Structure 1
Amino acid sequence: MLFTSVIAVAAIAQNPCELIVKVKNIKEIKGSLKIAIYDHEAHFLSKEIMSDGKSIEENEMKFTFKGLGKGIYAISIYQDENDNGKLDANFMGIPSEPYAFSNNAKGMFGPPSFEDCQFEVIGGTQEIIISL
């Protein structure tokens, strides 16, 4: 029995995790959705470890990320309505395109902190839902 437990733990350690991110509340079917995953507070919103983008075809979309290790992560998402490759902002620097973060975290006078957005990947397949 102990031998079986050791093999199971070793198999889990070697098998990367899969994260499914469902994005809901997409109000307009135009442009594309950009998503980025961060693994450290110091890199939050500057150096993602994984990213993806898809043309918006419906009001809910799903992204699947394979190969994540167990750990703490945070996600940022924005709708690139005009497909220019960036989150547009007004003259005051306030985003003019829809955006969201994991935990549906909201910032005050800027983006939320990594801590507010963080979630834990614990293994296997995990799903989170973010509202745009």
Structure 2
Amino acid sequence: MKKLIAFITLITSIQVVVAQDSHELIVKVENIKDLKGSLKIAVYNHEDHFLSNAIMSDDKIIDSNEMTFSFKGLVEGIYAISLFHDENDNGKLDSNFIGIPTEPYAFSNNAKGMFGPPSFEDCKFEVKADAREIVISL
């Protein structure tokens, strides 16, 4: 019985520590020109997974020139964001015949790429306090 009580106490303590270590990231997207389609956003936590394996993602139907996304449960660390305006709601970033995107897109830090997307290094930011807010211009 003592072992069971000790185990329950340990599990409860771990849950409290985990809850204290998780943070919320608020992403405000500005400069949305057309009120059609949806906005798709992805959060990455490592350079090796940037633009290929998001740890969190969301999408919303566009109903305003500014939209806000909230990501909860993030631990302290380095992150980067990519997003795009899926104007025709086909679930992908459309591009022309040479691969240049034809739909608006953006990255955290409003980073711009040269001959391709920006690097994780250019897009990265730190989450170390609750309710961290960043602003991205589309």
Superposed, which structure 2 residues align to 1:27-38 within 5 Å? 27-38=33-44
Q: Which runs of 4+ in 1 moved over 2 A?
A: 10-15
Superposed, which structure 2 residues align to 1:39-58 within 5 Å? 39-58=45-64
Flag the structure with higher helix content.
2
Corresponding residue for residue 4 of structure 1: none
Instruction: For 1:88, give the aligned amino acid.
Output: D
From 110, 118, 124, the counterpart of 2:124: 118
- TM superposition shift of 1:12: 8.3
Give the unaligned 5+ runs of structure 1. Answer: 1-9
Larger radius of gyration: 2
Normalising by structure 1, we get a TM-score of 0.90
- TM superposition shift of 1:54: 0.2
Normalising by structure 2, we get a TM-score of 0.86
Q: Percent identity?
A: 72
Give the unaligned 5+ runs of structure 2. Answer: 1-15
Q: Deviation per CA, 1:50-106, whole angstroms, max 9, x where unpaired?
A: 000000000000000000000000000000000000000000100000000000000
Alignment RMSD: 1.4
